[in-house]
Amino acid sequence: MEDESKNLMINNPFFLLLSSVSYSYFLATYIPKGLARVIFLLPTFYLLSIFPWYFSSSVLRGVLSFFVTWITSFKLLLFGFNKGPLFACKNYLDFVAIAIFPLKIKENEPPLNLSQSFKTLSSIMGRYELVRIFNKPYLATSLQDFWGRRWNRLSSNILRQTIYEPTQNALVGVVGAGKARVLALITTLVISGIMHELMFYYISCGMRPTWEVTWFFVLQGISMVFEGALKYLARVKGWTPVHPAVSNVLTLGFVSLTFYWFFVPPVWRSGRNECGFRPRV
């Protein structure tokens, strides 16, 4: 009976998810920040990586690989260096909620006191609000506006903290501020592409990546650099600014066309639901 209970827990993906986050909160907190804590979090990263395989729906695997395998892992990576949203969590419930779900604690919300008589679930959940993922992307007037401020702000913010800012800070003293920003931008878009390839890997039941999705994001990064250079040249030459309506059409047209070229083929080729295997812990 005891063995059956253990097997049920091991085969329960939500138990594995909760236990991995609990391990990070109760044990990793006592490890000094930096590389040592990140190494200590490796078992958690592993469990988060196999979590989507427990689900038969390809769509669900794709969604979970984004929110859990990618975003939760990157939040914990920041936590390893005492940064990011998890570092600000002062209790276990906040840590779990912010780690797993696209939530943030409301501004001016007092700390949750678990020593008091336990509150109702509705009052506890009232402490949080959903992170605004999209900000009217159809109004974007430039690629920088689209990718940096309007499209999937959840991934944009986490990539900025984990990839862009550290890369820029590491390079600014070597190549200068301007080149550091460009290289940090390209690096960030490459990592974004790789993480999207990972999502397709889960959706397609482990098919070998074609790297089309990665090239899509590389192209977006190069185009953003070119766009910035054109804007700078326009200011220097005193050219008449492009009307926002025209910029909007050009931006959405470019994103849509390149999306069709690079994203649609892998989706058509990877339409599989049941993978026929279960993950091993």
pLDDT of the residue at 277: 60
Is residue 279 domain-resident?
no
Find out whether 100 and 71 touch, Cβ atoms under 8 Å: no
Q: What is the pLDDT of residues 131-159, one digit of tens each?
A: 989 999 999 999 999 998 999 999 999 99
Task: Report d(CA 146, CA 125) in Å as an integer.
Answer: 31
Asked if residue 143 and residue 227 are part of one domain, the reply reads: yes
Instruction: Assess whether 79 and 142 both reside in one domain.
Output: no
Tell me whether residue 262 is in a domain. Answer: yes
* Cα angle 162-107-31, degrees, rounded to a multiple of 5: 45
In a domain, 180, yes or no: yes
Structure confidence at residue 240 (pLDDT)? 86
Task: Report how far residue 8's alpha carbon sits from residue 15's, in angstroms, rounded to the nearest whole number.
Answer: 9
Give the model's pLDDT for residue 115: 58
- Domain match, 126 and 178 both: no
Q: Which of 130, 162, 179 is the last residue of a domain?
A: 130
Q: Are residues 9 and 96 in the same domain?
A: yes
The answer to whether 19 and 94 are in contact (CB under 8 A) is no
Tell me, yes or no, whether 110 and 161 share the same domain: no
pTM comes to 0.87
Claim to verify: residue 149 and residue 36 sit in the same structural domain: no
Domain that holds residue 100: 2-130
Q: Are residues 220 and 245 located together in one domain of the fold?
A: yes
* Mean pLDDT, 10 residues at a time, the chain of 281 residues: 50 88 89 92 94 90 94 96 90 92 82 63 77 92 93 94 94 89 93 92 85 92 91 87 92 94 74 62 62
Please give the pLDDT value at position 5: 47
Question: How many domains are there within the chain?
Answer: 2
Identify whether residues 149 and 106 lie together within a single domain. Answer: no
